[in-house]
Structure 1
């Protein structure tokens, strides 16, 4: 299963998004993560937002399954559980 990964613009980050995503990747080796590219369709989408406004534009990203938007570190365990269930 392939997850497209999109970061927000980072205008107001309240946690270290890179460390967050690195941890998710390490704990979910069964998933393949690819940074979003145009014209590619993904099984699922992970949007790593830096704050609660979650303003990243994902309108042109093609995704078949679920979209997961995270905006704080406390969402990590739930996200990992969701990824492992896919």
Structure 2
């Protein structure tokens, strides 16, 4: 499955977004993570914010399935479980 990744602009980073993605990539084996670009179609979309605002826009991406938002380390384990179910 193809999962597009959208990062916020990082104006208020309280959380290391790159580190979070690396951990998710390491532990989710059935997903191909790639930076989201317009014109591509994704099975899932992961929006990673640096704080609880998680303000990155994403409605311009074509996504067939679920859109996930992540902005805190406490959410990573649940997200990995959810993505491993797909």
Q: TM-score, normalised by structure 1?
A: 0.96
Structure 1 unmatched runs, 5+? none
Contact 2:29 2:84 in 1 (8 A): no
> Residue 58 of structure 1 corresponds to which residue in structure 2?
58
The reply on whether 1:21 has 2:21 as its aligned counterpart is yes
Deviation digits for residues 11-49 of structure 1 (CA, Å, limit 9, x no counterpart) = 101111111110100001221111111100100000011
Kindly tell me the number of residue pairs found equivalent between the two proteins: 86
Structure 2 unmatched runs, 5+? none
SS of corresponding position for 2:69: strand
> Residue 74 of structure 2 corresponds to which residue in structure 1?
74
> Residue 32 of structure 2 corresponds to which residue in structure 1?
32
Q: TM-score, normalised by structure 2?
A: 0.96
Contact 2:42 2:62 in 1 (8 A): yes
SS of corresponding position for 1:5: strand
SS of corresponding position for 2:58: coil
Regions of 4+ moved over 6 Å: none
